[in-house]
Amino acid sequence: MLINSIPQRTIRESGTEPVRVVVLDQRNLPHKIEYVELQTFEDICNAINDMIVRGAPLIGVCAAYGLYLAAFSLKDLGLDSFQTKLKEFTDKLIATRPTAINLRNAISKAIEFIGHFNSTEEEVHASLKYARNLYENEIDCSRKIGEYGVKLIEDIYQNKKSTVNILTHCNAGWLATIDYGTATAPIYLAMERGIPLHVWVDETRPRNQGAKLTAWELMENGVPCTLIPDNAGGHLMQHGLVDLCLVGSDRTTRTGDVANKIGTYLKALAAKDNSVPFYVALPCSSFDWSLLDGINEIQIEQRNPEEVLYVDGLADGKIQTVLVPPLGCNAANYGFDVTPARLVTGLITEHGIFKPEEKELNKLREIINIKG
Ligand code: MRU
C-alpha cells in the first residue's frame, strides 16, 4: 500500500549471506517514517518485543526470518548440535509475544519444513525458503480476504445506497501484515471499486495503534476516516452510524472465539446489542486449532504498565512522552481480550467467510488440510 503515494511493504530483504531484513519502524509512526535493518536473530527478537514490528501476520513473517538468521548463525555446527541450539532459539522467539499465534505457527511449520534434510547447509537454505514462501502467502491471503470481505460492503451499499460506515479497532491494516491488511483489505478493495465508505477508527489505548497507525495508513491511501475515543463506538452504534464492524485477530480457536486487541470484546457486545454485523478478518495462520475455549485457554499478554501511564506524541516538532495520571499510580496493561464466538457474525478468511462454529470451521480445516 502507499506511503507518500509510493507503494511500500512492511518488510523486505536486504543483502545476502546472510539475507537481512529491513522493516518499517512502527514505533514513531506517523510522525517519523524510518526503516531499520535487522541483521541478527537478536535484532528480530527485539523488533518483535519492542513493537518495531507488530500485528499477528507481520510478527509471523518476521519470526520466520528470525529462525533463518538463527539457523545461519549455527551453520558450522554438526547437525545434532545445530538442531538442539535451534530449539533454544525458537523458545526465545516464541516468548517475545505470547498471544499472536502466527508467531508459533510460523516457527512450528518452519521447523517441520526444514527438518527433513541431512546437512545444516540444506536446513539453512530451507529456512530461508520457508520465510519467503510465508511472506508471499500472507500477501496472497490478505488479498483474498479482501475479495471475500468486499462483498459484505457491496451488499450493505446495495441496500443502503449511501456511504457505508465501518468501525475498526486497533490496527489490522497493511501495517500489521505485509500488504493490504486483514480488516482493511475489504476496505481497500471497496475503495478500488468506487463504493463510498467511511471508517470510524478507535484510537486503541494504550499504544494507540488506531490513532497512530490505522488513521495514518487509511489517510495515506485516500480512505475517508474519523478517529474516535475507544469508548465512542457504542454511542455511534445506538444512533445508526455504524453499518459494519471489521476487526482482525491475533488468535482464533477452532470454536470461533477471537483474541484481538484489548477492547475488541466491548465493541462486539455493543454491536450485538445494536444488531450491527461484527466480522473478524483473519488468515488461516491466525487460527489455533488446538483450542476450544478462548477465554480460558488463550494466554493474554501483559505488557509494561508504563504504556498505560505515559502517552507520546508530537510536541514542538519532537516526539515527546508525558505522564498522565499521578506519579506512582498503579496501572495494569492487558494487551488482548477474547470475544466469544456467539458475538461474532462471521470470520473472513482467504478461503471464504465462515460461521464461528466448530462444525463450520472443521470445513475450513479440511480445506487447508490440517488434521487433529
Ligand atoms: O499489539 P499489536 O499491535 O501487535 O496488536 C495487533 C492487533 O491486535 C491487530 O488487530 C491484530 O494483530 C490483527 S492482525 C492484522
Q: Tens digit of pLDDT per residue, the chain (372 long)?
A: 999 999 999 999 999 999 999 999 999 999 999 999 999 999 999 999 999 999 999 999 999 999 999 999 999 999 999 999 999 999 999 999 999 999 999 999 999 999 888 899 999 999 999 999 999 999 999 999 999 999 999 999 999 999 999 999 999 999 999 999 999 999 999 999 999 999 999 999 999 999 999 999 999 999 999 999 999 999 999 999 999 999 999 999 999 999 999 999 999 999 999 999 999 999 999 999 999 999 999 999 999 999 999 999 999 999 999 999 999 999 999 999 999 999 999 999 999 999 999 999 999 999 998 655
The residue from 250, 257, 288, 337 that is catalytic is 250
How far away, in angstroms, is 175 Cα from ligand 1 center?
9
Whether the CB-CB separation of 169 and 247 falls below 8 Å is answered with yes
The CATH-assigned architecture of domain 2-138 is: Up-down Bundle (1.20)
CA-to-CA separations, 308 to 74, 130, 264, 336, in angstroms, rounded = 39, 37, 17, 14
The secondary element (H helix, E strand) that includes residue 321 is strand 318-323
Among the atoms of ligand 1, which is closest to the Cα of residue 249?
Answer: 13
Residue 193 in grid coordinates = 471499486
How far away, in angstroms, is 171 Cα from ligand 1 center?
6
Q: What is the DSSP annotation of 106-131?
A: HHHHHHHHHTT-SSHHHHHHHHHHHH
Instruction: Output the pTM of the full model.
Output: 0.97
Residue ranges, comma separated, of all CATH 1.20.120.420 domains in the chain are: 2-138
**Chain centroid, CA 337 distance in Å:** 14
Residue ranges, comma separated, of all CATH 3.40.50.10470 domains in the chain are: 146-367
From the number of C-beta atoms within 10 Å of its C-beta (0-12, 13-18, 19+), residue 266 rates as: middle
Residue 326 in grid coordinates = 499521578
CATH topology of domain 146-367: Rossmann fold (3.40.50)
What is the model's pLDDT at position 371?
52
What is the model's pLDDT at position 115?
84
Whether the CB-CB separation of 85 and 74 falls below 8 Å is answered with yes
* Distance in angstroms (rounded) separating the CA atoms of residues 35 and 272: 41
SS3 253: strand
Q: What is the DSSP annotation of 341-355?
A: GGG--EEEETTEEE-
How far away, in angstroms, is 41 Cα from ligand 1 center?
22
Nearest CA to ligand 1 atom 8: 261
* Distance in angstroms (rounded) separating the CA atoms of residues 225 and 221: 11
Closest to 183 measured CA to CA, from 148, 131, 137: 148
Pocket of ligand 1 (CB under 6 A): 54-57, 170-172, 176-177, 181-182, 209, 248-250, 260-261, 335
What is the model's pLDDT at position 370?
65
What is the model's pLDDT at position 173?
98
The amino acid at residue 199 is V
202: annotated active-site residue: no
Whether the CB-CB separation of 101 and 282 falls below 8 Å is answered with no
CA-to-CA separations, 235 to 14, 26, 196, 271, in angstroms, rounded = 47, 30, 23, 10
The secondary element (H helix, E strand) that includes residue 297 is helix 294-297
